[in-house]
A and B are shown apart, each in its own frame.
Chain A
Amino acid sequence: MDFNDLLTGSLQQALGPTAVVYCLAAIGLNIHFGYTGLLNFGQAGFMMVAGYAMVTMSTIWGGSLWLGVLVGIVLTVILALLLGVPTLRLRADYLAIVTIAAAEIIRQVISAAKFSDKLGGQDGLTGFIKPFREVNPFSEPVGIDGLVRWGPNDFWVMTVGWSLVAVSCLVVWLLMRSPWGRVLKSIREDEDAVRSLGKNVYAYKMQSLIIGGLFGALAGFVVALRSATVGPSFFATDVTFFAYTVLLIGGAARVLGPVAGAVIFWFLITVLDLFFGQATAGANPIIPASIMNDTQASLMRLIFMGLGLMLLMVFRPQGLFGDRRELAIDAR
């Protein structure tokens, strides 16, 4: 068992580009679920629309990535409006059903064979990353010797990504200390009470859906930049649920909850993965093959993650950094 490997690999993931993606997605969900009480189960849909918009602008129409970002943002707002107009007047669970379905519809349509000449089908799209990497100031791997190291491209994505996270957290903090944020939190507590005080609840929920979706869009852009490709498999339903896990670990309705959650989530899941990988590898593994082989080992991280999430909900439902008195998950 090489513990140094475990630590290095886990740190690399905990601070790496993937953690950035889930952090941004969870910041969006924090606006939706943590502050407003909206159950958006289709964050992957927002990410996919934005990611594909950015990429197709350059692969199909030959535009710049910046134009792609702009189009992605516009399309995300349109998607939020499409989802919100029919459902936000209804009970919270309707939004959950509609968003999870919409995210799957978007994914199925984009990956359909019929559009594969333009959208790449299941293989996705590549060949847009050059302008991004051309402005990369890093040419050597970056890291701390003997502890962790990232390639220049990854580190460039991380630099851009964590900067986006910082700006996003600042925006969330500014919004949530304002009277606007107070109305959102009030809607989470009791819609009718807010309505009876003369606030247009529907409009506030719509604004919340759009803003949270826009953070999802940022996550979608980073997905594309991280992998230098976009494909339907990057935006499957489990992306949304991982993002929820990140949010719940860190603590909902906390500005820095998603940041802490993303780092911890990716650290733990990589440690578990590497541990079981090493424990079942080689000619004479620590865990004998009669108990578990290496294929089964790769699933253990998810089993432990699920177990951990259950324990977290039972013993610390407010997440690691949440305020117990103000926890958003409420069994009552």
Chain B
Amino acid sequence: MPDEKGTLDSGGTEMTLGPVRPASARRGFDVDVEASRRALADVDRTPGVAKPDPILTADNVVRSFGGLTAVDVDHLEVQRGVITALIGPNGAGKTTLFNLLTGFDRPDSGAWSFNGRSLNRVPAYKVARMGMVRTFQLTKVLSKLTVIENMRVGATGQRGERLLAAMLAPLWRSQEDDNTERADSLLERFLLDKKREDFAGSLSGGQRKLLEMARSLMTDPELVMLDEPMAGVNPALKQTLLGHVKSLREEGRTVLFVEHDMDMVRDISDWVVVMAQGRIVAEGPPDAVMADPAVIDAYLGAHHDVELTFEAEEQIHAEAEAEIEQEAQTND
């Protein structure tokens, strides 16, 4: 579906598309969200399957810490214009994969690209400028800056951020006003407008999550990567956050998020990728994935519902070994 390719036009043709697309969506993503979602229906439900219109692809990305292989992803594609969830038990390597994809960590080997542009050895800040912005599992707000200043930092291409222009306010004043206006509309949308002048360090955990997400939108990203957006958020706020994530999709942005909250995953994601022990073990629409025995095994351990005798354990070991061997052969 080449006609559905999103165009990354950082020059930014101003688009006014009514209330659905706020002023923040300035890159103008030509993504037919419904078509993108429909296209996923025909995709195979096997790990590492190719997508009709991938925005992000990764090949053979391996990262080990000492003897532990934290991430070993053979192939991964993320479909443009949909919400993809990345789930898996603790220590599955989800956050490490996030770090690798966004340039915060370097893999031992592998290749990955965003919108067809290779990201090998591209530093994190350049990845962000390309339109792929992440948030953090442990929320990173700038505590001793006010909420509105936090938002302003997020704006890209600021003239006043260059050293020589910085001292001459007339050079950046008008751009600053535009950014502030955009920041204010985002704050309003994320219910933070009353906190505008407060120091970010004084916000509650949930409000920090909101602020971090709003701030990442100031960069006008094409792909938003959220690392556990629901962790530590109260149930009432959760519904709001869910709405925000969905609205990102309506704006034509692609969302990839890590989450442990299965209700959220089931509720908003169009596609689910399951990681366990650094590998991708399953992929598919949420309902199919959650019924997948491989996924249940990954979370609860294989044979979680069988009473274990010594003989049975021996047999399981033998089976597992055979399985691993078989897998190794098929992978070769």
- A residues with a Cβ closer than 8 A to B are 171, 174-175, 177-183, 185-186, 188-190, 192-201, 207, 325-327
Which of B72-80, B157-165, B319-327 interfaces with chain A? Answer: B157-165
Contact of A193 among B136, B149, B218 (CB under 8 A): B136
> Which residues of B, 165-196, contact A by the 8 Å Cβ criterion?
165-167, 169, 172, 176
Residues of B within 8 A of A185 (CB): 142, 144-145
- With an 8 Å Cβ cutoff, the count of chain B residues facing the other chain is 42
> Is A325 touching B199 in the complex (CB atoms < 8 A)?
yes
- Which residue of chain A has its CB nearest to the CB of B199? A325
A197 and B163 form a contact (CB under 8 A):
no
Q: Does B215 contact A (CB under 8 A)?
A: yes
A180 touches which of B145, B154, B163, B218 (Cβ 8 Å): B163
Residues of B at the A interface (CB closer than 8 Å) are 102, 104, 123-126, 128-129, 133-136, 140-145, 149, 152-154, 156, 158-163, 165-167, 169, 172, 176, 199, 201, 212, 215-216, 218-219
Residue pair B153, A186 in contact (C-beta under 8 Å) = yes
Q: How far is the CB of B258 from chain A (nearest CB, A)?
A: 15
With A179-B176, A326-B199 in contact, is A193–B141 under 8 Å at CB? yes
Cβ contacts under 8 Å, A181 to chain B: 166
The SS class assigned to the A binding surface is: helix
Q: Contacting B128 at CB < 8 Å: which of A174, A177, A189, A196?
A: A196
Contact B172 A178 (CB under 8 A): yes
Nearest residue (CB) in A for B127 is: A198
Q: Is the CB of A178 within 8 A of B145?
A: no
Give min CB distance, B308 to chain A, whole Å: 44
Closest-by-CB residue of A relative to B130 is A198
Please give the distance in Å from A107's CB to the nearest CB on chain B. 30
User: Nearest chain-A residue to B167 (Cβ)?
Assistant: A174
In the complex, the answer to whether B216 meets A196 with C-beta atoms within 8 Å is yes
Q: Roughly how many angstroms separate A87 CA and B300 CA in the complex, as a whole number?
A: 45
CA distance A199 to B156 in the complex (A): 8
* A171 neighbours in B (Cβ, 8 Å): 167
Contacts of A190 in B (CB 8 A): 140-142
On whether the beta carbons of B154 and A197 are closer than 8 Å, the reply is yes
- Within 8 Å CB of B161, what residues of A? 178-180, 182-183, 199
Task: Tell me the bound Cα distance from A185 to B149 in angstroms.
Answer: 10
Q: With a CB–CB cut-off of 8 A, which chain A residues contact B125?
A: 195, 197-201
Q: Given known contacts A180-B165, A197-B215, what 11 new A-B pairs fall within 8 Å (CB)?
A: A177-B169, A178-B160, A180-B161, A185-B142, A192-B124, A196-B102, A196-B133, A201-B125, A325-B199, A326-B199, A327-B144
